[in-house]
Homo-oligomer: A and B are copies of this chain.
């Protein structure tokens, strides 16, 4: 047995049974070992950003770590952007990177680079076993590091000779990462939070692992009993939504409006996340969004027990059960394709239990409101702001959940990681891609006004427009193996969505839309 096989066996023993892979020469023993370890499934991705985004999506819907398999520094770098999103999503992820043989590193061969330094910027632990004997132990440590809490992107750098070298005495049992209990909330902070929720203008601010139906239900009770608002971060990792699910008020993306939204608060109680800040800085807009006098109570930071904190507040406030608000999903729309009719079409047709991977950017502005009373579903969003997350995350979410995934994708964003479409086709994944095409980086039209860069000459205009030539999104999808159709009315969109939900495997629907701003 070699090091690679001991890694796969350890992964299997720890329930890391899916690996999203884009291998090269230094990973060939890992690839060969897949033939011998039946309980680990490998999924080929044609670009590393697909593999890392898929591992993120898998973790968001299962709560469990998937692995990546990447090829040295370039493979890690190509996967970094979606690892950044996974880091901000605070999901567990085992990032496996093949490296040169230990004794080859000193020769500075063409592919040599400082992998550990790049991986270190992902803010999770980095492991680098130097002998085949150490692989299983280090892998178990890496998996433990991935689960945390807080959950992290843990990296295992596997040199080629450590991968192909013999493990002289494989252990009788593979090491298993022991789960670590998330710390309970501090009693004094709980008292403080309960008192201030009762006595001041307050909000409970949810994020991270606190956006499940169960935890949001606890928060709703706290809000009803105390008079506090219940809010949710702008970009939740995986949020339960739809009919029967309590819906907190979402923090607005635009700092200017978020400041107003939070302006009258005297207390903000954080559960599962940190204090919200501006996504970008803008001239004359503060980076902190709460007022200077707002008392921020970091009751349950990431990696602590958010459920225990909410349950304790429910107890302290003696908060009774409350029924969720009722409402109806929109009717299926008719007529022109607009941001409104798009949102209504998604909301009206969404299958029960679907997963919505949302990279709709400006085109999706009406989506959150429209889907509040749609069929129960989970919403996955752009946690780290790194564009190109939507299709890869959909790949992993489909494999992890087995449910229908709807991937709302913008034309500009799709171009970063369109290779995900091929993996959807190859694996027969039930993904409905809704590609929103306004042929611009429309969000930048808007952002450049917000930062005060208002010149609009030909040179700058040419950096925002995606026409000349027009991107044929359906053509891209078909070339990568996904059946595609362009719709021209809301009625056609509704039909295409329903048809796609009734069809196994991926479908691609292009929706031309005017720019929203």
Interfacial residues, chain A to chain B (CB-CB below 8 A): 21, 23-26, 28-29, 31-36, 42, 44, 46-47, 49, 73-74, 77-78, 80-81, 84, 88, 100-101, 103-104, 107-111, 113-114, 117-118, 120-121, 160-161, 164, 235, 274, 277-281, 283, 287-288, 383-388, 412, 415-416, 419, 422, 425-426, 443-444, 447-448, 450-460, 462-464, 466, 468-476, 478-481
Checking B84, B164, B288, B476 against A452 with a beta-carbon cut-off of 8 angstroms, the contacting residue is B164
**Pairs A-B, 10 closest by C-beta atoms:** A475-B479, A469-B481, A35-B457, A77-B80, A101-B281, A104-B281, A74-B386, A74-B81, A107-B277, A32-B453
Closest chain-B Cβ to A14's Cβ sits at a distance in Å of 19
Provide the residues of chain B in CB contact with A464, threshold 8 Å.
31
A121 to B72, CA, bound (A): 13
A101 to B277, CA, bound (A): 13
Checking B383, B452, B478, B480 against A110 with a beta-carbon cut-off of 8 angstroms, the contacting residue is B383
Provide the residues of chain B in CB contact with A452, threshold 8 Å.
164
Q: A111-B385, A118-B121 are in contact. Are A104 and B462 (CB under 8 A)?
A: no
Are B280 and A32 in contact, with the CB atoms below 8 A?
Answer: no
Are B472 and A478 in contact, with the CB atoms below 8 A?
Answer: yes
Closest to A104 in B: B281
Are A463 and B23 in contact, with the CB atoms below 8 A?
Answer: yes
Are A111 and B281 in contact, with the CB atoms below 8 A?
Answer: no
A28 to B133, CA, bound (A): 52
Are B448 and A32 in contact, with the CB atoms below 8 A?
Answer: yes
Are A113 and B109 in contact, with the CB atoms below 8 A?
Answer: no
Are B448 and A73 in contact, with the CB atoms below 8 A?
Answer: no
Checking B117, B283, B466 against A117 with a beta-carbon cut-off of 8 angstroms, the contacting residue is B117
Given A46-B412, A74-B80, A422-B471, output 5 extra A-B contacts at Cβ < 8 Å.
Answer: A21-B463, A33-B455, A44-B462, A118-B121, A470-B481
Contact sample, A vs B, 9 pairs, CB 8 Å cutoff: A24-B444, A34-B463, A101-B281, A109-B277, A109-B278, A110-B279, A114-B121, A117-B117, A471-B479
Closest to A468 in B: B426
Are B463 and A42 in contact, with the CB atoms below 8 A?
Answer: yes
Checking B36, B88, B160, B466 against A455 with a beta-carbon cut-off of 8 angstroms, the contacting residue is B36
